[in-house]
Amino acid sequence: MAEGPPKDTKSKKLSEAQRQNANALIASKLRGYYDSIIEEGTPPHLLDLLERLHDAESKLKK
Protein backbone atom coordinates (compact mmCIF):
# COMPACT_ATOMS: atom_id res chain seq x y z
CA MET A 1 0.00 0.00 0.00
CA ALA A 2 1.50 3.35 -1.08
CA GLU A 3 1.76 5.90 1.67
CA GLY A 4 3.55 8.70 -0.21
CA PRO A 5 7.08 9.91 0.30
CA PRO A 6 8.80 8.97 3.52
CA LYS A 7 8.65 11.58 6.24
CA ASP A 8 12.01 12.30 7.76
CA THR A 9 13.09 14.87 10.26
CA LYS A 10 15.29 16.68 7.71
CA SER A 11 12.96 18.61 5.45
CA LYS A 12 13.88 18.98 1.79
CA LYS A 13 12.40 22.46 1.58
CA LEU A 14 14.19 25.06 -0.49
CA SER A 15 16.06 27.79 1.31
CA GLU A 16 14.92 31.38 0.82
CA ALA A 17 17.91 32.06 -1.47
CA GLN A 18 17.11 29.00 -3.59
CA ARG A 19 13.48 30.07 -3.83
CA GLN A 20 14.49 33.57 -4.92
CA ASN A 21 16.87 32.14 -7.53
CA ALA A 22 14.14 29.87 -8.86
CA ASN A 23 11.67 32.77 -9.02
CA ALA A 24 14.25 34.96 -10.78
CA LEU A 25 14.90 32.23 -13.35
CA ILE A 26 11.18 31.77 -14.00
CA ALA A 27 10.69 35.53 -14.33
CA SER A 28 13.61 35.80 -16.72
CA LYS A 29 12.30 33.01 -18.95
CA LEU A 30 8.77 34.44 -18.98
CA ARG A 31 10.15 37.88 -19.85
CA GLY A 32 12.12 36.32 -22.72
CA TYR A 33 9.04 34.55 -24.07
CA TYR A 34 6.97 37.72 -23.80
CA ASP A 35 9.63 39.82 -25.54
CA SER A 36 9.91 37.32 -28.40
CA ILE A 37 6.13 37.43 -28.92
CA ILE A 38 6.15 41.24 -28.93
CA GLU A 39 8.97 41.29 -31.50
CA GLU A 40 6.95 39.07 -33.83
CA GLY A 41 4.27 41.71 -34.22
CA THR A 42 0.78 41.14 -35.53
CA PRO A 43 0.54 38.80 -38.53
CA PRO A 44 -0.72 40.47 -41.73
CA HIS A 45 -3.63 38.03 -42.11
CA LEU A 46 -4.88 39.00 -38.63
CA LEU A 47 -4.61 42.70 -39.46
CA ASP A 48 -6.60 42.08 -42.65
CA LEU A 49 -9.26 40.19 -40.71
CA LEU A 50 -9.53 43.03 -38.17
CA GLU A 51 -9.87 45.59 -40.97
CA ARG A 52 -12.63 43.55 -42.63
CA LEU A 53 -14.45 43.25 -39.30
CA HIS A 54 -14.18 47.00 -38.75
CA ASP A 55 -15.55 47.66 -42.25
CA ALA A 56 -18.46 45.25 -41.69
CA GLU A 57 -19.32 46.92 -38.36
CA SER A 58 -19.16 50.36 -39.98
CA LYS A 59 -21.64 49.27 -42.70
CA LEU A 60 -24.08 47.97 -40.07
CA LYS A 61 -24.06 51.30 -38.22
CA LYS A 62 -25.00 53.29 -41.34
Distance CA 13, CA 5 (A): 14
3-state helix, strand, coil in the chain (%, to 5): 70, 0, 30
Q: Please report whether residue 51 resides in a domain.
A: yes
Looking at the chain, the whole-number percentage of residues with pLDDT higher than 70 is: 81
**Domain contains 4:** no
Asked if residue 7 belongs to a domain, the reply is no
Is 12 a member of any domain? no
Q: What does pLDDT average to over the chain?
A: 86
Residue 29 belongs to domain spanning: 17-61
Q: Is 9 part of a structural domain of the chain?
A: no
Specify the range with the lowest mean pLDDT, choosing from 4-8, 11-15, 19-23. 4-8
**pLDDT at site 13:** 80
Residue 31 resides in a domain: yes
Q: With a cut of 60, say whether residue 39 has pLDDT above it.
A: yes
Q: How many domains does the chain have?
A: 1
- Is the pTM of the predicted complex or chain greater than 0.85? no
* 24 assigned to some structural domain: yes
Max Cα separation, the chain? Answer: 75
